Structure 1
């Protein structure tokens, strides 16, 4: 692939997962009504069930990709995602839908592992962070457009089940693109035997390196902030602020801020470094959260104040994501597939826990989300201080 096509392909691969999360947001209320979900917060499990499967599946694909190569694992799992999407579309009970969502997550987990591993096969350090940022800039257009696209599908086609058929079609498109254009990025001589000894060695390297483990944990917390927002967005915009049909546009505006953050990061990271940008963003997230809590407690919170604080907070989170990921991968490039799967598991499952705790605490106000973001910022700052041994805003080679 040419460089431009390579970045677009990585973005499309990431978009399979993003669509799996965001495309059905406008349909959550319809799904709940048709499948007999009586508690509004329980609709959030449509998102979190997917993320649980997404997190668990990542433990499998890294070792398989290090042994058999990236391409065959990707082709098989994309085909599995198509099948799981069709299963979700035909679900007749909420339990069956949740099962299908877990299966979707299990299949799409490969897209996260392999996207990072394929990029790491080609690049390292700040160049890797820049490539991921450019891909994520394109990728973030998906959550901006996905709810609107989902709403369009509901308006034009009717039943929410067509949303899952649309997911199947997009995954089939990426599958065809992979089959026709993706070459194997892992040479035979760099493949690792699939054995308990090699797995134990890879796990030990990944989990005992403080940068690998620490920044994976930090990424899980910031990703948890995204899940908390996505899970409760429909309730906040529609139920609390009465946004109605404007929900998709308001959601897109907040998501757009993450795209801007990734674009800025792609332009600045090679000059300023991953540490300076991500650490400044964490401190800004803490300050924003304190200010937002003060606004809420003073009783002057409005839709527009919430939008402003949420967009700025998402900008901070966007400046953390790819940089934390690049720093976590940097010391374990020789086992990129397995390391990516372990880090992905930590990031995704940790994010589900953090996001669910915040999302399920929704009480009809934005206060739980603001407090949750403050907690995330403080926890991430603590982790960064431990990883960097108490030093902020200092540079390391290739960082």
Structure 2
């Protein structure tokens, strides 16, 4: 990788990749950093039930989904940097609000606001890379950024546990705000504007309506967005209930961060494997194989639970393999959803992101709130996700599977 020449003057490619990974990490830390603190938060804020603590995770993802609707048009009109600076400042403020919350309701409000502000990181990361690179170069830059990004879910709970060792749970939210403040300062000083003024588009209600209509009336766009939302819902269900399963059910409190990291690592490995195979095998073959594998794993897992032989290690094996399958599905579903609407990519990305995040919150919450002290709800939920996503794929593809087809625009 050479520092010059670059399509983002004043910033070498290595720094640009690191910057993209950093803004993506703001969102990842917002989800995973506080997982070890959920019991302490529940105790101090007198949360009625253990399952209710899961709303601390899902409230954030709900806000994340809502926010994605607005940032695409704003960034196309005003440029990437101003929108990023404002939303990072908003994330810092929301983190301080969360750290000072005296009630559970106030904390949930702060989490929704954090999610709304962090939604810009997803929209703008893709937009800034797209502004600067195309084709294989764009894929390479995004892959490098994602490789760094995958480390965050693995390390975040351990960092959260370390913060708890030196202070109360509120330190975690101050740390979130502090990290966002560092990225904000870095952006202010070093980040060039990647969207030239000549390429900025005014916000037109007519063009927005047309773009929304194109996105929402194309069966590939909507169908694969819903399929992606189901697999994302599986991730939310695991993340929101992981602390209860590992600590309360299996008594693995001291190993929680390591066990969580192992599951996150399996999904990261799947994403890396997908990046190596997708050009050769295609998005449909990989994602549909992942769905069938997820269904088969869930059936076997239910058999193990029903036989009364489920333990920590059997759960770890099935959870890691299920996360691998989900990792092979989600990114490919997202890519296929964008295939027919690439000419309105900014708005389409926002709409699809909204669908994916909000439906995933509903799915993940339904599974998480069904937690009853066993792994039954998660295994049943994963089976339902696999079967439902497969049904959507069959509908979208006209009953054909494992065939590469280019949808008409």
How many residues are matched?
A: 397
Preserved CA contact (<8 Å) 1:66 1:335: no
| In 2: Cα distance, 1:49 partner to 1:137 partner | 27
Distance of 1:158 and 1:188 partners within structure 2: 46
Instruction: Tell me, yes or no, if structure 1 residue 229 matches structure 2 residue 238.
Output: yes
Give the aligned partner of residue 123 of structure 2. 113
Find the aligned partners of 2:398 and 2:149 in 1 and give their Cα distance. 33
Shift of residue 94, structure 1, vs aligned partner: 1.0
Which residue in 1 is equivalent to 2:301?
292
Q: SS state of the match for residue 268, structure 2?
A: helix
Matches within 5 A, 1:199-348: 199-348=208-357
- The counterpart of 1:92, out of the listed 88, 102, 125, is 102
Structure 1 stretch 201-210 or stretch 98-107: which is displaced more? 201-210
CA apart distance, 1:80: 0.5
**How far does residue 220 in structure 1 lie from its aligned partner after superposition?**
0.7
Partner of 1:43: 53
State the Cα distance separating 1:181 from its structure 2 match.
Answer: 3.4
The CA deviation string for residues 145-171 of structure 1, in whole angstroms up to 9 with x for no partner, is 10010000111x220001001101111
After superposition, give the CA deviation of every residue in 1:121-152 in whole Å (9 maximum; x if it has no partner): 45667876665444333222111110010000
Residue 105 of structure 2 is aligned to residue 102 of structure 1: no
Q: 1:176 to 1:397 in 2, by over 3 A?
A: farther
Q: Which moved more, 1:6-15 or 1:97-106?
A: 6-15
* 1:239-293 Cα shifts (integer Å, max 9, x gaps): 1001011111111111110111111122222222222221211111111111111
Q: Where do 5+ consecutive residues of structure 1 fail to align?
A: none
Q: Who is 2:187 aligned against? A: 178
Distance 1:88 1:130 in 2: 36
Residue 382 of structure 1: CA displacement?
1.3
Distance 1:367 1:134, change over 3 A: farther
> RCO greater where, 1 or 2, for CA within 8 Å and sep 6 or more?
1
Moved more, 380-389 or 353-362: 380-389
TM-superposed CA distance for 1:49, in Å, is 1.1
1:12 and 2:22 equivalent? yes
Aligned equivalents of 1:354 and 1:131: distance in 2? 32
Residue equivalent to 1:76: 86
d(CA) in 1 for partners of 2:324, 2:133: 25
**Structure 1 residue 18: Cα displacement:** 0.9
Note closer, same or farther for the CA distance 1:66–1:16 as it changes in structure 2 (3 Å cut): same
Cα displacement (A) at 1:232: 0.4
Q: Give CA-to-partner distance per residue, 1:335-367, whole Å, 9 cap, x none.
A: 322221111110100110000000000011001
Moved more, 361-370 or 200-209: 200-209
* Cα gap change, 1:391 to 1:110, in 2 (>3 Å): same
Distance in 2, Cα, partners of 1:98 & 1:366: 26
Q: Which residue of 1 aligns with 2:6?
A: none
Three-state SS of the structure 2 residue aligned to 1:178 is: helix
Q: 324-333 or 79-88: which moved more? A: 324-333
8 A contact 1:67–1:194 mirrored in 2: yes
Change (3 A) 1:125 1:306: farther
From 372, 377, 383, give the equivalent of 2:392: 383
Moved more, 76-85 or 201-210: 201-210
Alpha-carbon distance between aligned partners in 1 of 2:314 and 2:106, rounded to the nearest angstrom? 39
Deviation at 1:13, TM superposition (A): 1.7
Contact kept? 1:85, 1:164, Cα under 8 Å: yes
RMSD: 1.9
**SS of match in other structure, 2:270:** helix
- Residue 165 of structure 1 pairs with residue 158 of structure 2: no
